[in-house]
Amino acid sequence: MSAAEQKVAKRIRQASLFLFLRKIRHQLFDEEFQTELAGLFKDSTVGKCPIVPAQIALAIILQAYTGVSDDEAIEAMQMDRRWQLVLDCLDCEQTPFGKGTLVRFRAILIAKGGDLRLVEKTIEIAKKTQGYSERSLRVALDSSPLWGAARVEDTYNLLGHALRKSLEIIAKNMQQETGAIAVQAGAEIVAASSLKKALDLDWDDPRAREQALSTILQALERVESFVESQSDLTSTTAEAAQKSLADAKQIEKQDIERRADGSPKLIRVC
């Protein structure tokens, strides 16, 4: 560690996981694992940003261990020097990546089983090096609400992002505000600054989650109908709007199944 890092390390009296991850991060994200992660995200928009996947993956481990929300994780990266020590961004003025990147990255990681690989490899190194309690780490990560809750939240966010993007494309073409276009489409919720806040969802209540899922899928149907009804769009605009809708439909296909009564059920939850 550098001299600055050593000063931070000496001041850490508790939460020794931070020190453990700082010491083993190069071992955890060796060339083989970095290649593996790169393969997971090579077809993702995440790959277009100048961020090493290992850095986001480390943040995901810290988030799971500490049990903080996405917003709190982003704040910790900026305010907590222990997080900065692990993520190699000590005394950074800006976070190394934003909430959108974190949410998107984690969603793809989970969808492709990379989250389990990340946890197991971390625990494997803890056992091998005896640098951290294997049992404590497994209990903390395996039982963390992040893995289950993230699957739910990310599916909603991904659907909402795709729908909003479709409406933004049309709004730009019509030289109107996205909110106004969303009202015309009957999908005001999509234009909200925070889909989670707009849904007013109690993430701990399964019935509330199912209702929220039904709400966003209804918005998908309305946006789809609205886009199809817009005969004045240029071919380029129509194609781009349809592409975002196709992304939403793909997410629906991968993450959701229908019960016998037609109600939606999320199938990516642990």
**Mean pLDDT per 10-residue interval, the chain, length 270 residues:** 85 78 91 83 54 88 84 90 91 86 82 80 89 78 60 72 90 92 92 76 77 92 93 88 88 85 73
Q: Given this model, what pLDDT does residue 87 score?
A: 93
Q: Given this model, what pLDDT does residue 144 score?
A: 63
Q: Given this model, what pLDDT does residue 104 score?
A: 82
Q: Given this model, what pLDDT does residue 219 score?
A: 94
Q: Given this model, what pLDDT does residue 47 score?
A: 43
Q: Given this model, what pLDDT does residue 120 score?
A: 85
Q: Given this model, what pLDDT does residue 5 score?
A: 86
Q: Given this model, what pLDDT does residue 265 score?
A: 87
Q: Given this model, what pLDDT does residue 270 score?
A: 37
Q: Given this model, what pLDDT does residue 184 score?
A: 94
> DSSP letter string over 132-176?
S-HHHHHHHHHT-HHHHHHHHHHHHHHHHHHHHHHHHHHHHHHT-
119 neighbors 141 (Cβ within 8 angstroms): yes
